[in-house]
Amino acid sequence: MIQHAKLRTLSTANTTNWLLTSSPDVYLYGALLQAAPYLQDDARITVWASLYKTGLSELKEADDRGSTSGVLITRARTLG
């Protein structure tokens, strides 16, 4: 079963969430990626996009490891 959680909006009362705490680089590079065209810094878009994708990949890998971690229990079958 796959569940998706909605991030709570950041505000003065809610200054962090699990994503910002565990992967601040995803927020940073995502913000820089979005700001680059506005600031007419097109040369940096590929840099920020690459770092953002790397952060997302690392976050996904950590999530995958967490969802498959645990103890594998094996039992021998006895016949008859």
Residues 34-64: pLDDT tens digits?
999 999 999 999 999 999 999 999 988 887 8
Helix 45-68, helix 24-38: angle, nearest 10:
160
End-to-end CA distance of the chain: 36
How far is residue 38 from each of residues 33, 34, 45, 47, measured CA to CA in Å?
A: 10, 8, 11, 16
Question: Are 43 and 17 within 8 A, CB to CB?
Answer: no
Q: What is the pTM of this model?
A: 0.69
With bands split at pLDDT 50, 70 and 90, how would you rate the model's confidence at 31? Answer: very high
pLDDT tier at 67 (50, 70, 90 boundaries)? Answer: low
